[in-house]
Chains A and B, each alone.
Chain A
Amino acid sequence: MTTLTRNDLKELAQTYMLANTPRSLFWGLLQCSAVHKLKSEYNKPELKTYFETITAKARRSEYVMSLAYAVAVALLTKDISMEEGEIDFSRLDWGEQFQDYAYHTSSSVIITDISAFPPQKIETSSTPTSNIVLPYDVNLNNPKKGI
């Protein structure tokens, strides 16, 4: 069940029409209300099925294309644990670039996720005399991969 309105679709189509570069399309769609709805109302398998159905269409209008890109953005930004090759984003001209942007976006999210690193107390004799508490072990040489 989808609750996308005519205005949602119009916003997607206009974003698709106005985007000058793949990156601006990715970030533009990320701001669209339709993408927020897709992310909140569909789970990953549903989005995957939706994406495959849309991109299988022979006739690709702006509404279809922008919706396909919107579902791709929803998929890529909803679930960062998606395995490589799980979904064929190359069905879209800029699909592979979208994967790249999402990877870099999710990487920065993981690096700033401090919940995985418990606070660490370090004793020091230098001034100031109070102990310094670091938020986590700052060892980011081998950050986790998102996708």
Chain B
Amino acid sequence: MSIRLETSKRNGVTNFQDSELSRFQHHGCKMLLQQHPQARQRTQACPVYNCHGLTFACRRTKVLYRKDIDLILNDDGYREVSLEDVLPGDVVIYFSAEGDPNHSGIVVEMEDTLHVPRICSKWGYAGEFVHVLHDVPNLYGPRHKFFRCEL
């Protein structure tokens, strides 16, 4: 099931809402916290939205495809910012070696001295986690870029 989702230029964004959550997915957060003890779990597992849905669609649905991420970045006036210039509210997109945007999140805190951003992101079906930039499952990355919406 999908919802009506558009960019600021009224271009449609393909999306998908899931509704079922299994016991494994529900309990998966505990397993992830064991692997990432520094990360803080913010919400329980949720099937409705994914990381890109959190970052670009206000947690309402899943955005799954690269073309839609590109469309949002272009239509909504996102420009890349360097690590030194990152501020809370900027977004980070993790890319695979092939350039696929495999994860994203919102910068919620920037440590001034070491320039280490703290990110709020959703890890697949699992819940939202607040974590430092590189403290994510191996599936995400290895590259990343920061963007700021300047409409």
Q: Which residues on A are within 8 Å of B, measured CB to CB?
A: 13-15, 17-24, 27-28, 61-63
Contact = CB atoms under 8 A, between A and B. Distances in A.
Contacts, number: 62
Would you call the interface of chain A mostly helix, strand, loop, or mixed?
helix
Interface in B126-151: 126, 137, 139-140
Interface string B99-133: 01111000000000000000000111110000000
B24 A21 contact: no
B103 A24 contact: yes
Contacts of A62: 22, 24-25
Give chain B's interface residue range (CB within 8 Å of chain A).
20 to 34
A27 B24 contact: no
Contacts of B64: 20-22
B89 interface: no
Interface of B: 22, 24-25, 28, 31-32, 50-52, 64-66, 96, 98, 100-103, 122-126, 137, 139-140
17 contacts: A14-B31, A17-B25, A17-B126, A18-B124, A18-B125, A18-B126, A19-B124, A19-B139, A20-B103, A20-B124, A21-B50, A21-B64, A24-B100, A24-B102, A24-B139, A24-B140, A28-B139
